Structure 1
Amino acid sequence: MARALSSETLHATSVAIGGRAVLLCGISGIGKSDLGLRLIDRGATLISDDYTLIKRMDGRLVATAPATIAGKMEVRSLGIVAMPHVANVPVALLVDLFDQVDRMPLDPLFRAVAGMDVPVVKIAPREASAPIKVELALRILGLAP
């Protein structure tokens, strides 16, 4: 019998919006850190850049940074920058980043993370509206506080 994971490290930049963690996932170079930086400019707070530790705690998932990168963000052309950050933020949403996405999503998507399902939306990170779409997805899915 397979044992459910109680923690998992994702290749994801994560930010807190209204006290809820949003996981920005995608291949290297897709724009995870860039979208995270634009969300921070709109009021989000950094949780972790590039890799995020997801832990199951008290029946929910929380996101935090690995100790080696806590409070640091890679900003292309500027290098590693110290940033205010938060830890152990309840996970609300996983955002899969792709260069092109469907115009109209088919069915609600979920992904198992550390043994629990997390809602998923697909967004093109380089669109000017991408940060607004992330915030709107939280509201539409009823995940905003």
Structure 2
Amino acid sequence: MMRAWTLPTFYVLCGSVAAAGLILTGSPGAGAVLLAVFVLLGAAHSPLVFPRSLGALEAQRLSAVDGKPVVYWRPGCAYCMRLRMRLGRRARQLYWVDIWRDPAGAAAVREVNDGNETVPTVFVAGRPHVNPDPGWLRERLSS
């Protein structure tokens, strides 16, 4: 669980140090702006911007019932962030599984990616798609 917060924490700490340096050298405005930028970067890379993560088994069970895709992701992944942002509000129509929190999710991803934890891996109708185009996934959600 802590691993998911490593990158966001790093952003906030680096921003705090840089902002403190600017404030101490007489540029409080620039320091405040820099700190705000780093806090936003930390928030964007945190698990907070993703819908609530489920366990892999629960997500698979729910997907079998209603047919919604399952997205396996991990915090700090630029491709996962791209997919999440490009899906917008439609991201909440998917089941999200954080592979760093769920060993069964990580195993499911390794099984279809030759032992690698390549994310995002999206299962649509039981078929895996590695790093799919967000537009393609949006079309699947619309139909």
Indicate the structure whose relative CO is greater, using CA pairs within 8 Å and at least 6 residues apart. Answer: 1
Structure 1 or 2: more helix by fraction: 2
Structure 1 or 2: more strand by fraction: 1
TM bucket normalised to smaller: under 0.3
Q: TM-score, normalised by structure 1?
A: 0.26
